[in-house]
Structure 1
């Protein structure tokens, strides 16, 4: 059996430490039987022949820009069976100006609510809030999250705008606090999958910093997501 091929694409905003974050998962991919190619830009998305030979794309590119040709190439490859996955802003806050990319992924970062104004110090921690990742009923039997219990994090809590084509494996709820403009709690998807043609997509929204990525629950979801999203025999 030939080894699976993984393409790791990283870059964008350095605050999410794309190099260090993706390096955490390279040993897992290699030990899982992948040959891994790492690229520092999205240019390869426009190479249809290369993506056709790729079983899994792991993306960590926060914000940034992408060409229409590159988005079209990525979308076509996923529809033909190439898996696509990532975490936090590297997949859910990528290429804000591209509606075609948003349609592919199915959800986009809107904000991460912060602490009470009087507690803010002008640092990243101003947006770190204790919150729960709640596994859904679907999540309790899905291969990506099966066997995991609800878990607690203190980091950025993503508020996500999304469509109904995603399968939500976990949610997180933003409470209505006195200093916020919303009047009732808002529940956002925190982990979801999406079928796109013959391809599978997995999005994990926690992952702002290396310590969050090393959280056993978060890391388990990301690693399982890589395996689940990988091209299957039926999609070849």
Structure 2
């Protein structure tokens, strides 16, 4: 049996521990029959031959920048059937200056609401809140999230700006709080898929730190997302 080829691209803001986070999933990929290549920059996206031969891209690059040539290479590969997936800021807060990247993934981190101002101490934990992730009706039937019950986390809760080409598998609701300016609860997608040409994209917004990635529900969703996004025979 021919082994699938996975490309793990990591870098960007160190606060999301791109090396440690991706290392958590390398054994799963190898045990699932993938040959894994790891790159520390997005330069590989401009390598047309390598990208065309890749079945799955796992990206963990928060913020940072991407060149037009690199983005074109990534988008072209996805349109031809290469799968694309990632978690948290490594995919939903990448390349903020690129509207074409936003168009590709269908959703962009806007903020993570924080604690009451008087409780903040200037640390990452200022933005950790308890919240629930709710599986949608579509999510209860989708291979990425089927059988997973609603679950709770205590970490950054992403508020995402998005379009309606995404298929939302799970949501999270930002409540009204006295110190926030919005006036009604806001529902954001927490897990979504997107079809782009022959390619499949999966975005999972939880995953700020290694302990969140180790949560059984989060980890299962990410791992299933890798399998589902991978190039299918019809896209070969």
1:52 corresponds to: 52
1:73 and 1:167 map into 2 onto residues whose CA distance is 24
Report the alpha carbon displacement of residue 78 of structure 1 after superposing the two structures with TM.
Answer: 0.2
1:48 and 1:15 map into 2 onto residues whose CA distance is 30
Report the alpha carbon displacement of residue 119 of structure 1 after superposing the two structures with TM.
Answer: 1.0
2:195 and 2:80 map into 1 onto residues whose CA distance is 11
1:143 corresponds to: 143
SS in 1 for 2:140: helix
1:98 and 1:68 map into 2 onto residues whose CA distance is 9
1:154 corresponds to: 154
2:105 corresponds to: 105
1:124 and 1:51 map into 2 onto residues whose CA distance is 35
- CA deviation profile, 1:33-92 (whole Å, cap 9, x unmatched): 000000000001011110111000000000000001111110110000000000000000
1:3 corresponds to: 3
SS in 1 for 2:223: helix
SS in 1 for 2:109: strand
2:176 and 2:84 map into 1 onto residues whose CA distance is 34
Uncovered stretches (5+) of structure 2, i.e. residues with no partner: none
1:205 corresponds to: 205
- CA deviation profile, 1:175-232 (whole Å, cap 9, x unmatched): 0111000011100000000000000000000000000000000000000000000000
1:69 aligns with 2:82: no
Report the alpha carbon displacement of residue 100 of structure 1 after superposing the two structures with TM.
Answer: 0.6
2:219 corresponds to: 219
The alignment's TM-score, normalised by the length of structure 1, stands at: 1.00
2:80 and 2:123 map into 1 onto residues whose CA distance is 43
Report the alpha carbon displacement of residue 122 of structure 1 after superposing the two structures with TM.
Answer: 1.2
1:76 and 1:122 map into 2 onto residues whose CA distance is 41
Report the alpha carbon displacement of residue 118 of structure 1 after superposing the two structures with TM.
Answer: 1.1
Kindly report structure 1 stretches of 4+ aligned residues shifted beyond 6 Å: none
1:118 corresponds to: 118
The alignment's TM-score, normalised by the length of structure 2, stands at: 1.00
Uncovered stretches (5+) of structure 1, i.e. residues with no partner: none
Aligned residues: 236
Give the CA RMSD over aligned residues. Answer: 0.4
1:57 and 1:21 map into 2 onto residues whose CA distance is 15
SS in 2 for 1:152: strand
